[in-house]
Amino acid sequence: MKIGRKLQQVRNLHGLTQEQMIAGVLSKSQYWRIEKGSDTIRGSILIKILNQNKISVLNFFNDNDYLGVKKRELQDAITDAYFAQDYKKLEEIKQQSMNSQIKCLIDWLLFELKGESQNFPDEEKRKLMYNVWKAEKWNDDILWFFFHILYLYNYSNLEGIINVLISKVIKNEKIEERELQLISSIAVRYLNICYEQGSKYEAKKVIRFLRKIPETVEFGLDKLIANYYEALLNKKKAEADDILDLIKACGYEEYFRLC
């Protein structure tokens, strides 16, 4: 991976702005060119930037995160612990983490799992939402983060964001499989919010989208959940109950409940 792109990824992972990343070392314009790959950076300057932000030089060049695992593996560990309601594992990851963004996210997940989301500090909510707002590109890292904080947003603020993501898929823009899986999961969560808000039109739009994604096993559960909500919207309670029984029989009750 090119140094500029890696710097950008590490900076986003640590929740830093460009100004914070290079304070007292480089000008913002020069650093912007480095991240974009149009300028180079001297090794001594790179190490100085990493050190002042307490970013491991060794891990930076090994493409590892602060826990010594790949970032994707860390994300999957947090998601798996969340859906398993494994408080101990989430606390363990939090204690080992040197990343304030990850610590804050795990705090939110713990509050949510314990049914205490209303008590989560407003300042921490703003920090989590800002990490998404300042993102320059909706890559899989931001999509993963957004999925986990979706319930922090007001319904009125979600429609535009979700429509952009859905449009990206419908327009057949180049999209990786993991990105599509995350967008599908986000759509399922948003579908639940639409139903709770009584927004039948918006809910049906999401259902149509979920019907268009590939007919593969990776998306089977999301499509099944879409069928469940469609049955509810059409006041077919018996059909909805049958689908819910199938979801439970497949062992996905907790995923469905937390989505």
Q: Give the residue-averaged pLDDT of 11-22.
A: 82
Residue 168: exposed, middle, or buried by beta-carbon count in 10 A (0-12, 13-18, 19+)?
Answer: middle
Q: Mind listing the pLDDT tens digit for each residue in 182-205?
A: 999 999 999 999 999 999 999 999
Say what angle helices 100-113 and 122-133 make with each other, to 10 degrees.
120
The amino acid occupying position 49 is I
Q: Mind listing the pLDDT tens digit for each residue in 223-259?
A: 999 999 999 999 999 999 999 999 988 888 888 888 8
Q: Whats the size of the chain, residue-wise?
A: 259
Domains, the chain: 3-62 (1.10.260.40), 153-258 (no CATH)
pLDDT band at 62 (very low <50, low <70, confident <90, very high): low
The answer to whether residue 68 scores a pLDDT higher than 60 is no
Task: Judge if pTM exceeds 0.85.
Answer: no
Q: Mind listing the pLDDT tens digit for each residue in 144-155?
A: 999 999 999 999
Distance, CA of 154 to CA of 129 (rounded, Å): 11
